[in-house]
């Protein structure tokens, strides 16, 4: 059998083997499937549109809340908050027994949080060892304010009076030219990096936590004609108080210099070797409400000159929800 004849024979074999096909039935089946698929597609499209709309609404709501919070918090005159125990220790290292420390716990309204929250209470026990006595708090300054905390080893140059005092950042929003917007975006990205890196670089945050997120910034004119950008930096930490528990504001001047730092830390864990100025409990207890009633211009602490040689081994602020009794 040659190839052509074999092909012919095989072809006829295939013709005998091929099944009978009901073309009409098959076409109807396809039509039914297509109709079902079309109905499914329409249903899916409606669902998708509904989902996208829902997400958009949720996003706008969240963004609105975020912007509102940022506008409310950034540029506030309050600065840093480390409330600690009494400077009972003198030269040399001492450690207080835990029972004694517990006895000294005092309920104190946290000045920063009280602005925004329903008066959460902080207990302030501490086991702090000091190598040197703390400096006396100047009598001329109303004591129970926000304690403006400098990190003495950071060369921070605090502005004597916060630029935004008495003004909400929203007032400073203005229409800018395209070129200005481009320049601002470029500088904004840089400042954002500085704001993100600064708290970690200076040991304000435990490296074990995830990288900080810089969320919202607002610009304003700073001293010396420079532009100052305030950034809200948020850290992934366990929630303690809603909204502000992980909040840091870093103000970055045009030359990438951090000029002001605002912390809202329910639990600040100082790092060994870093210097943090401490505030005596007695002063806090003496007039815990002064910060609320005084003249807002007088709320500012003076910049403390010189180094404060305090060697903190450990300190913490224990948060207790007042609703828990």
Partner 1 sequence: MQGQQRRQHRRSDVLAYEAFVRQHCARLIQSLTLVTLDEELAADAAQDAFLQLHLHWDKVRRHQNLTAWLYRVGINRCKDYRRHLGRLSNLVGRLAANLPPPSESVEWESRVDALAMLGRLPLKQRTAAALFYEADFSVVEIAAVMNISEGAVKSHLSRARQSLRQILEVER
Residues of this chain that bind partner 1 (CB under 8 A) = 1, 3, 6-7, 9-11, 13-14, 16-19, 21, 23, 26-27, 29-30, 33-34, 37
Provide, rounded to whole angstroms, the least separation between the CB of residue 52 and partner 1. 23
Q: Closer to partner 1 by CB, 18 or 272: give it.
A: 18
CA atoms of 105 and 109, how far apart (whole Å): 13
Instruction: Pull the structure tokens for residue 188.
Output: 């904004």
Q: Closer to partner 1 by CB, 34 or 57: give it.
A: 34
* Residue (of 220, 221, 77, 242) closest to 162 by Cα position: 77
β-partners of residue 107 are 123
Provide, rounded to whole angstroms, the least separation between the CB of residue 53 and partner 1. 26
Q: How many CA atoms lie within 13 A of 292 on its CB side?
A: 13
Provide, rounded to whole angstroms, the least separation between the CB of residue 8 and partner 1. 10
Provide, rounded to whole angstroms, the least separation between the CB of residue 33 and partner 1. 6
DSSP labels for 196-247? HHHHHHTTSS-TTSPPPEEEEEEEEE-GGG-EEEEEEEE-----SSTTTTTE
| 3 state DSSP class of 266 | coil
Cβ–Cβ under 8 Å, residues 79 and 148: yes
Cβ–Cβ under 8 Å, residues 107 and 288: no
Cβ–Cβ under 8 Å, residues 199 and 205: yes
Provide, rounded to whole angstroms, the least separation between the CB of residue 31 and partner 1. 9
Provide, rounded to whole angstroms, the least separation between the CB of residue 13 and partner 1. 6
Provide, rounded to whole angstroms, the least separation between the CB of residue 3 and partner 1. 7
CB within 8 Å of 260: residues ≥ 6 apart: 79, 156, 158, 159, 162, 249, 250, 251
């Amino acid at each position: 059998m040659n190839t052509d004849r074999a092909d012919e024979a095989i072809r006829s074999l295939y013709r005998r083997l091929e099944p009978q096909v009901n073309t009409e039935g098959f076409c109807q089946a396809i039509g039914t499937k297509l109709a079902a698929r079309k109905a499914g597609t329409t249903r899916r499209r409606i669902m998708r549109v509904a989902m996208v709309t829902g997400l958009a609404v949720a996003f706008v709501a969240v963004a609105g809340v975020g912007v509102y919070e940022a506008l409310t918090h950034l540029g506030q005159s309050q600065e840093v908050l480390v409330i600690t125990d009494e400077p009972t220790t003198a030269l040399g290292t001492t450690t207080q027994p835990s029972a004694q420390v517990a006895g000294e716990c005092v309920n104190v309204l946290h000045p920063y949080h009280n602005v925004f929250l329903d008066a959460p209470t902080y207990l302030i026990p501490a086991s702090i060892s000091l190598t040197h006595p703390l400096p006396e708090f100047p009598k001329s300054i109303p004591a129970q304010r926000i304690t403006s905390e400098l990190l003495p080893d950071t060369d921070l140059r605090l502005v004597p009076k916060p630029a935004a005092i008495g003004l909400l950042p929203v007032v400073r929003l203005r229409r800018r030219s395209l070129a200005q917007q481009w320049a601002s975006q470029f500088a904004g990205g840089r400042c954002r990096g500085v704001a993100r890196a600064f708290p970690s670089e200076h040991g304000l945050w435990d490296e074990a936590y995830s990288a900080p997120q810089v969320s919202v910034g607002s610009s304003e004119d700073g001293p010396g004609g420079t532009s100052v950008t305030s950034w809200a930096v948020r850290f992934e930490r366990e929630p303690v108080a809603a909204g502000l528990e992980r909040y840091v504001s870093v103000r970055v001047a045009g030359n990438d210099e951090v000029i002001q730092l605002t912390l809202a830390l329910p639990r600040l864990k100082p790092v060994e070797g870093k210097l943090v100025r401490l505030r005596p409990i007695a002063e806090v207890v003496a007039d815990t409400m002064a910060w609320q009633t005084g003249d807002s211009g007088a709320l500012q602490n003076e910049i403390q000159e010189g180094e404060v040689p305090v060697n903190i081994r450990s300190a913490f602020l224990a948060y207790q929800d007042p609703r828990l009794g």
